[in-house]
Amino acid sequence: MNKLNLSIVIPTYNERDNISKILEKLESSLKNIKYEVVFVDDNSPDGTSEEIEVFMKKSQNVKLIRRVGRRGLSGAIIEGIFASNASLVGVMDCDLQHDESKLLEMLALFKKNTSLDLVIGSRFTEDGEISHGAFSKVREVASKTITIIIKKLLYINSTDPLSGFFMVKKDSFLAHSKKLQTQGFKVLADFLAVSRHNIDVKEIGYKFKNRVLGESKMSLLTGLELISLVLSQIFGGKVSIKFILFCMVGVSGIFVQLATTGFLYFFVNGFSTSQTVGILVAMTSNYFLNNYITFQERKLKSIALLQGLFSFYLICSLGAFANIAVATYLFSLSSNWLVSSFVGAVFGAVWNFTLSSNFTWKSK
Ligand code: GDD
Ligand code: MN
């Protein structure tokens, strides 16, 4: 087999009807190029993997990584790049919103400049744009605002760090891959942040088109993951996206507890009972939020959902004791209530997170 010029990694989740279309488009734009397509499908319920298998029978250059029991765009892209056989890897969505004809221009840039590490397909350069109707007005404004904030906070100077369309030298990507997080939607922003100033980057404008078939997987949840990614980078990548999501849920629990306790105290009376019920309601709402947000890919259902709730109650009660013990000890040493209470809370959060991720939501 001749040496491959390019691998194209395409993450998929419920994209069955787009598979034949994207393969056709790639074939007609990459006429003289030797390329392979590596699909990474998270065992989509709509039969995307089976559809890809049909094309694997016809062409040796179509490959599939089928991930079972896992979800997540960033992790899928990282695994796809690991499995690629060419030294240059293009990453693009399956839904035809990215412009495959730009892959040739990206390749040409790498040919011209051998020290180049990354070319970003950008919606926000002079010749880049977002098609009318591709995004709702809300998402377009949110996308632009978040881009500005992320560039400032993470010292990134790309015009489109949230792009899902780019080409990268495999070795340069691998060199930084250990620091990347698999949870989330924005692997490019993560890569730019961890490789800061050590890579050579160029951009190419493209027109982000409308999605014709299937649905976007972007959600409030992917937004929360993005905020967590930024916070995680601000802490030097030392805390995981998961832990930050867990803490966000924890903070929401404080409000739930205050609201419940307040309501019961004013309308039903009896502080201790109100406070106890408040704590129970907060633990319960934390449990369900963690199940849907923090541990979405290990989501518990039916009877396991109930068992999980009780193990979560148990872990959090022990966490509360640990919190009180640490805080009391520190207070006896320093008499600083704020620091003691804060350290106690951090201790409790780490305890709850570590135990619940190993017991309540242990990975299979
Ligand atoms: N394997 C896998 N697992 N693939 C996924 C998952 C997942 O959990 N979630 C989404 N995908 C795939 C989709 O099937 C699609 O091919 C691609 O990732 C992008 O998902 P969309 O749901 O279409 O995202 P979008 O259009 O809202 O946003 C895209 O474009 C933006 C602009 O470039 C993404 O690429 C964003 O990262 C990007 O900012
Ligand atoms: Mn899309």
pLDDT in tens, 260-273: 999 999 998 788 89
- Residue 111 CB partners (closer than 8 Å, separation 6+): none
The reported pLDDT for the residue numbered 154 is 84
Strand partners, 118: 168, 201
Identify which has the larger pLDDT, 228 or 196. Answer: 228
Name the residues around ion ligand 2, CB cutoff 5 A. Answer: 93, 95, 97
pLDDT value at 1 more than 80: no
Rounded Cα distance between 168 and 260, Å, is 51
Residue 85 confidence (pLDDT): 96
pLDDT of 34 above 80: yes
pLDDT reported for residue 270: 85
Q: Distance from CA of residue 262 to its chain's centroid?
A: 36
| CA of 40, closest atom in ligand 1 | 1
Query: In the Cβ-directed half-sphere of 284, how many Cα atoms lie within 13 Å?
Result: 8
The DSSP secondary-structure symbol of 42 reads: -
Q: Does residue 196 contact residue 233 with C-beta atoms inside 8 Å?
A: no
C-alpha distances (whole Å) from 116 to each of 151, 159, 165, 337, 358 are 21, 17, 16, 53, 42
Q: Facing residues of 39 across strands?
A: 10, 64
87 CA to middle of ligand 1, Å?
Answer: 23
Over the chain, what is the mean pLDDT?
Answer: 92
Which among 306, 307, 322, 310 is positioned nearest to 354, based on CA atoms? 322
Nearest ligand 1 atom to alpha carbon 71: 8
d(CA 202, CA 155): 16
CA of 155 to the centre of ligand 2 (A): 26
- What pTM did the predictor assign? 0.86
Ligand 1 atom 8, closest CA: 72
Percent of the chain with pLDDT over 70: 99
Report, in this order, helix, strand and coil percent for the chain, each rounded to 5: 55, 10, 30
Contacts of 186 (CB under 8 A, 6+ apart): 74, 161, 162, 225, 226, 229
For the CA of 162, the closest atom of ligand 1 is 39
Which whole-number Å values give the CA distances from 73 to 80, 210, 317, in the listed order? 11, 20, 35
Local confidence band at 364 (pLDDT 50, 70, 90 cut-offs): low
pLDDT one-digit tens code per residue, 139-185 = 888 888 888 988 888 888 899 999 999 999 999 999 999 999 888 88
165 Cα nearest atom in ligand 1? 33
By percentage, how much of the chain surpasses pLDDT 90?
72
Which ligand ends up closest to the CA of 94? 1
**Alpha-carbon distances, residue 1 vs 34, 36, 37, 61, 235 (angstroms):** 10, 12, 16, 11, 46
Distance 97 CA to ligand 2 centre (A): 6
When pLDDT is averaged across residues 178-197 and rounded to a whole number, the result is 90
Q: How far apart are CA 354 and CA 109, in angstroms?
A: 46
Task: Determine the Cα angle at 245 with ends 219 and 72, to 5°.
Answer: 50
Which of 54, 118, 92 lies closest to 206, judged by CA? Answer: 92
Task: Name the 3-class secondary structure at 183.
Answer: coil
C-alpha 217 – ligand 1 centre gap (Å): 6
**C-alpha 274 – ligand 2 centre gap (Å):** 47
Hunting for tokens 């832990």 — which residue is that? 243
Q: pLDDT of 66-99, one tens digit each?
A: 999 888 999 999 999 999 999 999 999 999 999 9
Biggest CA–CA distance in the chain, Å, is 79
Atom of ligand 1 nearest to the CA of 188: 37
What single letter denotes the amino acid at residue 229? L
Best mutation site among 130, 135, 217 for ligand 1, i.e. most ligand atoms within 8 A of its Cβ?
217
Residue 261 tokens, joined: 């306790």
**CA dihedral for 264, 268, 272, 277, sign (positive or negative):** negative
pLDDT at 28: 94
Dist. CA 4 → ligand 1 center (Å): 26
pLDDT given for residue 56 in this prediction: 97
Characterize the bridge pairing of strands 6-12 and 35-41.
parallel
pLDDT tens for each residue of 226-248: 999 999 988 888 899 999 999 99
Query: What integer pLDDT is reported at residue 277 of this predicted model?
Result: 92
317-356 pLDDT, tens digit per residue, is: 999 999 999 999 999 998 888 999 999 999 999 999 999 9
Residues touching ligand 1 (Cβ under 6 Å) are: 11-13, 15, 40-42, 71-73, 76, 93-95, 97, 162-165, 185-186, 208, 216-218
